[in-house]
Structure 1
């Protein structure tokens, strides 16, 4: 499925932009390039924090809702599952299902 991957990419980027906009991080800087870099940095930290929580929750005996909440904050409650295949046609077929 392609949708979980897209959501898990877009949601942290939007969350990073919102966090920077709401908190004022980087917006006292005049350079648009620096502001964008700060927003991407915050988005990366956002993704990393919730991905680590998600991974730890599945390895440790934490309540199931913790893993689900971390995944939901990344845009999709479960990480996408990829099958190992070198057959491009099969991979395309799987991405459409």
Structure 2
């Protein structure tokens, strides 16, 4: 379950970042590939950062915008 949650929490922000980059590309007059290549990872990082911070400091409900309502929990390996 933890692997699924971690993948979901990465995939949803990636999709959000892609959508932001796609929207920005239509308003700019630069090569679309260059814009997407720069904006996509930047938008993904910003999206994840904003909603991860909101999840921790405002309300756990913001976790849904990362794909799952709570951060994944990883068990410590025995020493």
Q: TM-score, normalization: structure 2?
A: 0.82
CA distance in 2, matches of 1:19, 1:31: 13
Which consecutive aligned stretches of 4+ in structure 1 deviate over 4 angstroms post-superposition?
A: none
Tell me the number of residue pairs that the alignment of Structure 1 and Structure 2 aligns.
78
**Higher RCO by CA contacts (8 Å cutoff, separation 6 or greater):** 2
What whole-Å deviation, never above 9, does each CA across 1:12-32 have from its counterpart, x for those lacking one?
Answer: 111001112124378532151
Name the residue aligned to 2:43: 42
Kept in 2: contact 1:16–1:42 (CA 8 A) = yes
Q: Is 1:85 equivalent to 2:74 in the alignment?
A: no
Question: 5+ residue gaps in structure 2?
Answer: none
RMSD (CA atoms): 2.2
Q: TM-score, normalization: structure 1?
A: 0.68
Report the 3-state secondary structure (helix = DSSP H, G, I; strand = E; otherwise coil) of the residue aligned with 1:55: helix
Question: 5+ residue gaps in structure 1?
Answer: 58-65, 88-97
